[in-house]
Structure 1
Amino acid sequence: MNEKEILKLVGARVKTLRKQQGYSQESLGEKGGFHFSYIGQVERGEKNISLLNLSKIATALNVNVAQLFTYVHEDSELTAEDVDLKDIVMMLRNAKPEQVRMAKNVIREIVNPKG
């Protein structure tokens, strides 16, 4: 993977997370302390973003930095099940710990019902 591909993949991941959370480039920029045009450049893979700025963007998106690197190649297609799982994970990332535990228990009951 070359440098441009990495920048584009990370940028696409930032864009995906931003849209999933309902932020515009401007609102994400304000939250992270950046101009909206900088966010656009990052999302298009035009900026070789520093780790410190990645950390600020991750914080503004309420995710950890590692989640900015959990991208899916643009040419791969997600199944409907993958999309559902991805949506569930995003909901749980924004939930309180007790809500996550409750969701885990509900899922456990659905997947492995007791006889």
Structure 2
Amino acid sequence: MPDIRKLVGSKIRDYRKRKGLSQDQLGEVCGFHFSYIGGVERGERNISLENISKIADALHVEPKMFFNFDEPFLTPLPEEKELALEELMAILITKEATYIRMTKNILLEIFDTFPQK
């Protein structure tokens, strides 16, 4: 039987990376040290339900998503794309929600004007 801590930790890591956050950035949003986030992701920590909830809130997912083992893990992004998303996230993370929404709307307009082939 697989270790539940490693399964949940892998899901947390997957969602964190998809959001373009470093362990340090996620820890800052949740109020945890980056080493705690690393320990959780590696399955070394027996995380409490309260802390699962805090991490889920920070990642904007339902806590139950960390326990959905039937659904395969998200496909990893190519390294170049992941780095570009991390750069964009580093810029946006410091901005207010209004500016983030404005940025999203601008991007949608660009993508509508210049669709990918």
TM-score bracket for this pair, using the shorter chain length: 0.5 to 0.7
**Match 1:25 to one of 23, 26, 29:** 23
Aligned twin of 1:36: 34
**Match 2:68 to one of 70, 76, 81:** 70
CA distance change for structure 1 residues 34 and 11 in 2, over 3 Å: closer, same or farther?
A: same
Give the superposition deviation at 1:53: 0.4
Q: Where do 5+ consecutive residues of structure 1 fail to align?
A: 84-115
1:9 and 2:10 aligned: no
Distance in structure 2 (CA, Å) of the matches to 1:71 and 1:62? 19
Give the superposition deviation at 1:72: 5.7
Give the superposition deviation at 1:70: 1.5
Q: Where do 5+ consecutive residues of structure 2 fail to align?
A: 76-117
Distance in structure 2 (CA, Å) of the matches to 1:11 and 1:69? 10
Paired residue total: 76
TM-score (norm 2): 0.59
SS at match of 2:69: coil
Opposite residue 29 of structure 1, the aligned amino acid is: G
- For CA contacts below 8 A with separation 6 or more, give which structure has more relative contact order: 2
Distance in structure 2 (CA, Å) of the matches to 1:15 and 1:72? 17
Identity among equivalent pairs (%): 53
The runs of at least 4 aligned residues of structure 1 exceeding 3 Å deviation read: none
Distance in structure 2 (CA, Å) of the matches to 1:37 and 1:62? 21
SS at match of 1:52: helix
CA distance change for structure 1 residues 52 and 22 in 2, over 3 Å: closer, same or farther?
A: same
Aligned twin of 1:56: 54
